[in-house]
Amino acid sequence: MAIRCVASRRTLAGLKETSSRLIGFRGIQTFTLPDLPYDYGALEPAISGEIMQIHHQKHHQTYVTNYNNALEQLDQAVSKGDASAVVKLQSAIKFNGAGHVNHSIFWKNLAPVKEGGGEPPKGSLGSAIDTHFGSLEGLVKKMSAEGAAVQGSGWVWLGLDKELKKLVVDTTANQDPLVTKGGSLVPLVGIDVWEHAYYLQYKNVRPEYLKNVWKVINWKYASEIYEKECN
Partner 1 sequence: MAASIAVTANYVLQPPPYALDALEPHMSKQTLEFHWGKHHRAYVDNLKKQVLGTDLEGKPLDHIINKTYNNGDLLPAFNNAAQAWNHEFFWESMKPNGGGKPSGELLALLERDFTSYEKFYEEFNAAAATQFGAGWAWLAYANDKLKVVKTPNAVNPLVLGSFPLLTIDVWEHAYYLDFQNRRPDYIKTFMNNLVSWEAVSARLEAAKVASSSSA
Contact between 196 and partner 1 (CB under 8 A)? yes
Contact between 151 and partner 1 (CB under 8 A)? yes
Instruction: Rule CB under 8 A: choose which of 16, 58, 80, 122 binds partner 1.
Output: 58
Contact between 88 and partner 1 (CB under 8 A)? no
Strand order in the sheet with 166-173: 166-173, 154-161, 185-192
**Contact between residue 126 and residue 142 where contact means Cβ atoms under 8 Å apart:** no
Q: Which is nearer to partner 1, 104 or 172 (CB)?
A: 172
Instruction: Rule CB under 8 A: choose which of 15, 22, 26, 204 binds partner 1.
Output: 204
Q: Which is nearer to partner 1, 59 or 142 (CB)?
A: 59
Contact between 11 and partner 1 (CB under 8 A)? no
Instruction: Rule CB under 8 A: choose which of 54, 136, 168, 169 binds partner 1.
Output: 54
Provide the sign of the torsion angle of the four alpha carbons 104, 219, 212, 135, taken in this order: negative
> Rounded to an integer, what distance in angstroms lies between the CA atom of residue 154 and that of residue 151?
8
> Rounded to an integer, what distance in angstroms lies between the CA atom of residue 129 and that of residue 157?
13
Residue 78, burial from CB neighbour count under 10 angstroms (0-12, 13-18, 19+): middle
Instruction: Rule CB under 8 A: choose which of 31, 38, 194, 226 binds partner 1.
Output: 194
Contact between 107 and partner 1 (CB under 8 A)? no
Q: Which is nearer to partner 1, 153 or 212 (CB)?
A: 153
Q: Quickly list DSSP for 69-129.
A: HHHHHHHHHHHHT-HHHHHHTHHHHHHHHHHHHHHHHHHHHB--GGGTTTPPP-HHHHHHH
Contact between 212 and partner 1 (CB under 8 A)? no
Contact between 131 and partner 1 (CB under 8 A)? no
Interface ranges with partner 1 (CB under 8 A):
54, 58-59, 62, 91, 95, 151-154, 173-175, 194-196, 199-200, 203-204
